[in-house]
Structure 1
């Protein structure tokens, strides 16, 4: 694929510069969500409990990770944090492209990043909030890039490091179970567990995550949070559905998604798309049932699907993939739903629609391969000339 023309790259650079500059000028402090984590770190430095704020929903290791920000002047953070968040999203897109062997400077790469930045409201929303979801958006494509090259242990370390900052990627552990990559799974679990245990020992309430944060997540009854939750359980409750019934609907959707993810893995075809689509389906299933669940969670999975649009049969090549993302297009008017308090209905529609599109794609019939991936090297495919699959010139492919 030919490199993008200079004009397109210049436009992309201008857009990527304008978004963090606007966030720095308009967002309070270093972003509303990032400010919660920084405040928790400052509380800890002052001898208090970071879990005194019920909206601090992270592991203890995140407190120590936020300490450098707590020591930096507010004026510096206000400029630096939006730039770093934007950079994290760009890095995630670059890794997603490399999973499919697409050059980062190609026409498709530039057009895709422009589509994410200009055509997806959660992109600018995440930069303005400076939510630590960006760590997952950058880590997941990086980990999948390593996994598709047979480096599952390194992939587990990357996911584990992301979990230590925000436990959003926890469902991806099931990908390691499906692939029977036990060393990678052990690394995935050990990194956040060890980091959180060590950090908890330095807290005035070492069990604060379990006694305060976990009950809050299980209840999901915070009035402020509920207005922005995109999960079906939260949205259906707002529409008058009894909470128990709403939770049952969300759980049923998540269970169906898990079944689709398992079926996608067992189909065992189409090279690198196998782990990518399985991981995406696992996360979408979790987003359906998790409380809270926000619009910017989609930025963890959509770039991975979009980057595969050049692959024949990929979900992003179908019209329904684009149709279900219409609620996320900035500036598109939706009667009665364009207020901040009702935005969650659009976010829920996009989440459920994307889960449905991805689920149907994962559940379609295909050949079944039960053999797990190897830890090192490239597994052989019987019947090929050299017992390897070449997905593109000069690069060994993911096992079929």
Structure 2
């Protein structure tokens, strides 16, 4: 009675008002125009990458999948995309609830919906009209299908997202650690086949390799919450940026090793969801581009708080979640510099603290295990 009306009204507000109103950042128009250019046999990758406006960065396979959008007029296409994204997010909340053993009739489902739509990552995905909701759906389907040993379908789920945005690519390490090869067949095969089909249909397909790909791998100092992007924006020395990237990579390596050794067989759900969070959070921090609304892909890690042994059962972890997912704005008329610093750093500090928390929790467990082993040996 408490959670449902609040959750429903929050979904209504975020989708019907904030999303339809939009914002200066508009990820949808570039996708729509690229789809229109594709269907009309005009160049798709001819943008000026020296501006700070949103650019079209999807590969030819993504262009092929997104092409039906331009059949509708721009407003109808955008509103339809928002509506479908909202439905997908609700489905994701349901799948996450079921994944952790709760029914749709429990209080957990409306609580997850409330949490989803209270975050910056969901709100700005709808406001900017981005593809992220579908990536989250692919992530959850991939994890659930892996657990049920439907390996080829697990590869299909992640392969369709990779065809548009390769952000989930590090998760292909998980089936490899399980000694499963079938998910890789469809996960790699689907983007490969779609690119082969789309390549001859795009008049400037080679420009994706020569112009767009270099831009994708370059670090930009705007709308970038990665260590390198944030460091460039604030003028941090290059050696410190490299040191931080190496440090967080090493923390991730230890965390993944410990999770694999002690949880893969005893608690597969905790292993999969925590490991996926570690892989993705590390990607956001150490790659050339990390954007705040990617944080929704950490929802499975956050949901582990319901499991015994979760790394999320401490207050620093939730301070980290607040940092990388809050919809609060810290712009201040009284303390301009301090407010600006908090606003630009809340996401990278949230991701960083989350990685530190996971590393420290698992390190202390490892040290306890070593100490117990020494006592037993004595």
Shared fold, TM over 0.5: yes
* 1:280 equivalent in structure 2: 277
2:33 corresponds to: 39
Taking the TM superposition and a 5 Å limit, the aligned residue runs for 1:186-201 are 186-201=185-200
Match of 1:320? 316
Q: State the Cα distance separating 1:24 from its structure 2 match.
A: 4.3
Q: Please state how far the C-alpha of 1:19 moved relative to its aligned partner.
A: 0.7
Q: Is the 8 Å Cα contact of residues 97 and 112 (structure 2) preserved in structure 1? A: no
Deviation at 1:231, TM superposition (A): 0.5
The answer to whether the aligner puts 1:261 opposite 2:256 as a matched pair is yes
> Gaps spanning 5+ residues in structure 2: where?
50-54, 370-378
- Paired with 1:13 and 1:97, the residues of 2 have a C-alpha distance of 17
Q: Which residue of 1 aligns with 2:86?
A: 86
Q: Which residue of 2 aligns with 1:329?
A: 326
1:338 shift after superposition: 4.4
Equivalent in the alignment of 1:22? 17
**Aligned position for 1:250:** 245
Does 2:43 match 1:49? Answer: yes
1:35-57: CA deviation from partner (whole Å, max 9, x where unpaired): 22121111222322221124222
Work out whether residues 258 and 281 of structure 1, in 8 Å CA contact, stay in contact via their aligned partners in 2.
no
Instruction: Quote how far apart the aligned CAs of 1:361 are.
Output: 4.1
User: How far does the alpha carbon of each residue in 1:256-279 deviate from its partner, in whole angstroms, 9 at most, with x for none?
Assistant: 313422331222332311111112
Question: What is the rounded CA distance, in whole Å, between the counterparts of 1:32 and 1:15 in structure 2?
Answer: 22
Alignment of 1:114-263 (within 5 A): 114-118=114-118, 120-221=119-220, 226-243=221-238, 245-263=240-258
Offset, 1:244: 5.4
Matches of 1:252 and 1:326, distance apart in 2: 23
Q: Number of matched residues?
A: 355
Q: In 2, Cα distance between the equivalents of 1:245 and 1:338?
A: 24
Task: Pick closer, same or farther for the CA change 1:255–1:42 going to 2, 3 Å.
Answer: farther
- Give distance in 2, aligned partners of 1:333 and 1:245: 26
| Contact 1:155 1:184 (8 Å CA) reproduced | yes
Q: 1:323 to 1:198 in 2, by over 3 A?
A: same
C-alpha change, 1:105 and 1:36, in structure 2 (3 Å) is farther
Instruction: State the match for 2:372 in structure 1.
Output: none
- Against the structure 1 CA distance between its residues 281 and 244, is the aligned structure 2 distance closer, same or farther, given a 3 Å change threshold? same
- The 1:178/1:13 distance shift into structure 2, 3 A limit, reads same
**SS at 2:35 equivalent:** helix
Asked whether the 8 Å contact 2:227–2:286 carries over to 1, the reply is: yes
Q: Residues 244 and 196 from structure 1, CA distance in 2 versus in 1: closer, same or farther, beyond 3 angstroms?
A: farther
Find the aligned partners of 1:24 and 1:325 in 2 and give their Cα distance: 23
Q: Over the residues paired in the alignment, what is the CA RMSD in angstroms? A: 2.5
CA–CA distance in structure 2, aligned partners of residues 156 and 59 of structure 1:
19
1:309 Cα offset (Å): 2.1
- Separation of aligned partners in 2, 1:129 and 1:298: 15
Are 1:292 and 2:295 an aligned pair?
Answer: no
Q: How does 1:365-384 map to 2 (within 5 A)?
A: 365=366
- When the two structures are superposed, what TM-score results if normalisation uses the length of structure 2? 0.86
Give 1:249 shift.
2.4
Q: Which secondary structure state, in structure 2, belongs to the residue aligned with residue 317 of structure 1?
A: coil
